[in-house]
Structure 1
Amino acid sequence: MERESKNKEMKRKGGLGRGIEALFEDEPQIEETEEEIKELDLGDMRPNPYQPRKSFDDKTLKELSDSIKENGVFQPIIVRKSVNGYEIIAGERRFRASKLAKKTTIPAIVREFTESQMMEVAVLENLQREDLTPLEEAQAYEMLQKNLGLTQEEVSKRMGKSRPYIANYLRLLTLPSKTKHLLQHGDLSMGQARTLLGLKNKDKIDEVAKQVVKEGMPVRKVEALVASLNAKKPHKKMTKKSAFIRESEHQLSDKLGSKVNISESKKGNGRLSIGFSSVDELNRILDILGVDLDE
């Protein structure tokens, strides 16, 4: 539930918390002033385009909606002016719940934010709430990297995380789509997904992920399964020989009195091998082929 405040005045001091303010330490510092809270039309607003959270829990959204119906919105959302109306910087849950409650307006504070600030606030606000899925968190870090041109090290500093922490999340984005779906919907845990990334045969990840979910494997058991699969040598696929190749092998074997094997590749080239068990047998084969080593 949203944190309620008993302060019903229509003025309050700005600030999104030390975590978000820390993002803008390099920005010019201005004197803290009171900001006006306005009642803005919900129809004039659209979500933050950099919102990393893709899904909202229906149950908690309904609970917040019921509270808003009864008591209104206590904590204003933060928006910025756009060409057509406003873009939500922070407070999309309150926005969605207000629409669900059939409200037409919502208390809001209008601020000036750059694109990069909007992006970072959207990511950090959700990280502080700890309600992003592992996949959404990974996509958020990737978005910061691509759109702001940041390295993993720079993302880690700005988000207050270690570089290995960021790297581990970004690796989740290399998972195949079916496994990502399981991770996004909570069927697969972060630990299980990370372990599956250790499979040498990446084509088997989806299959193994399905098995892990079906059997409810703990991470240690997943680790053992991955180690076992990695230890197995891959089976070489036997290519079916053409009738011409098989007949050629048969006739050469009869002529030479020895086992003959002919292999061919997709490129059209191939290899002919003749087996022998002794030097005498080799000399016999050479005689049949008309090979005289004394010349």
Structure 2
Amino acid sequence: MSNHQDQRLILDADEKIQKINIQAIKANPYQPRKTFDDERLHDLAKSIQLHGILQPIVLRKTIAGYNIVVGERRYRAANIAGLTEVPAIVKSLTDKDMMELAIIENLQREDLNAIEEAESYRKLMDDLNLTQQEVAQRLSKSRPYIANMLRLLNLPQSVSSMVRDGVLSGAHGRTLLGVKDTQQMLRIAKQASRESWSVRDLEKYVTTQFEAPKSKADLAQYTVTKPKFIRQQERQLKEQYGANVAITTKNKKGQITFEFKSEAEFKRLIHQLNEKYKHE
């Protein structure tokens, strides 16, 4: 089912909206979302107390009552608001339909992070035995987009958690996959977060550090604009020491060069550097 089919499922004209006892309703066993923001749930509960549930939830009838197909946030907020009944549409659905609709609803969340999005695509593929192309068609996305998102699941847990928590973006995560050593990847991820690097800054850093020229012929054409944070450090050192400063990186090593034009400038720089280290 596509997103559009999901909407038609809720809005079918021949379906009657029923009032269902909230105690008879249980969560969707295929719901991929395990945590719900308490603050947002309470905000929704206050809105429900004032205005009621504006859009009915969708249920499937079971022997023991009803399972939620779409609308678990509304159901949870209704519980908080103290409602005894909720408006619902009861549908006849297969387990496969239940799985797909739960995952699609999860993908429509506003607060969905990149890791959760990637996990949802993987779950669609695993649970419904779909290919990347079939997932892309169902969700009206391109296959390369799905493939790129799935790459995030290759991140080590330490870096994956930073993307999940919003410390880094999904694009940051995909860039970091170019760093093969896990410890180096984590170090760079923490630095990117600490110094608020843009994705472009991170791309330039990773390229400079880990993608050396393949031959001497490539070397002449191998020029990479310095990342923003390096340019900032050069400016700060220039202001601090009153001399031109160049910071270069290559093959995981770095060099800081101070420029002087006379013996007097050289002695002044040496004196400033010595004085700095005396006070540290």
TM-score normalised according to structure 1 size: 0.65
1:250-293 alpha-carbon deviations (Å, 9 max, x no partner): xxxxxxxxxxxxxxxxxxxxxxxxxxxxxxxxxxxxxxxxxxxx
Q: 1:17 to 1:214 in 2, by over 3 A?
A: closer
Asked if structure 1 preserves the Cα contact closer than 8 Å seen for 2:114 and 2:163, the reply is: yes
Q: State how 1:9-158 maps to structure 2 within 5 Å.
A: 18-20=4-6, 34-158=14-138
- Asked if structure 2 preserves the Cα contact closer than 8 Å seen for 1:179 and 1:206, the reply is yes
Amino acid at match of 1:18: H
Which of 155, 177, 195 lines up with 1:197 in the alignment? 177
Higher helix share: 2
Aligned-partner Cα distance in 1 for 2:189–2:208: 15
8 Å CA contact 1:53, 1:132 repeated in 2: no
Q: Distance in 2 between matches of 1:169 and 1:194?
A: 8
Quick one: structure 1 residues 210 and 161, their matched pair in 2 at CA, closer, same or farther if it must change by over 3 Å?
same
Alpha-carbon spacing, 1:123–1:82, altered in 2? closer, same or farther (3 Å): same
Moved more, 194-203 or 176-185: 194-203
* 1:175-227 deviation digits (Å, cap 9, x = unpaired): 11121111111111111111111113234222222221111111111112212
Runs of at least 5 residues in structure 2 that lack an aligned partner in the other structure: 213-249, 254-280
Q: Which residue does 1:208 correspond to in 2? A: 188
Does structure 2 retain, via aligned residues, the 8 Å contact 1:199–1:229? Answer: no
Verify the 8 A CA contact 1:52 1:137 in the aligned structure 2.
no
Contact 1:41 1:106 in 2 (8 A): yes
Correspondence 1:207-286 to 2 at 5 A: 207-230=187-210, 231=212
Q: In the comparison of the two structures, how many residue pairs are matched?
A: 212
The alpha-carbon distance between structure 1 residues 46 and 209, as it changes in their structure 2 partners (threshold 3 A), is farther
Distance in structure 1 (CA, Å) of the matches to 2:3 and 2:173? 33
| 2:163 matched residue in structure 1 | 183
Please, what TM-score do these two structures have when normalized by structure 2? Answer: 0.68
1:96: Cα distance to partner? Answer: 1.2
RMSD: 2.5
Other structure's SS at 1:229 match: helix
Q: Which runs of 5+ in 1 are unaligned?
A: 1-15, 24-31, 236-295
Q: Are the equivalent residues in 2 in contact too, given 1:78–1:109 (CA < 8 A)? A: yes
Instruction: Give the whole-Å Cα distance in 2 for the aligned partners of 1:82 and 1:175.
Output: 39
Larger gyration radius, structure 1 or structure 2: 1
Partner SS for 2:41: helix
Cα distance per residue 1:62-103 (max 9 Å; x no partner): 221101112221221001123432211111111111111122
Cα distance in 2 for partners of 1:33, 1:97 equals 26
Tell me if the contact between 1:19 and 1:124 (Cα under 8 Å) persists in the aligned partners: no
Find runs of 4+ consecutive structure 1 residues off by over 4 angstroms: 231-235
Work out whether residues 52 and 136 of structure 1, in 8 Å CA contact, stay in contact via their aligned partners in 2. Answer: no
- Percent identity over paired residues: 45
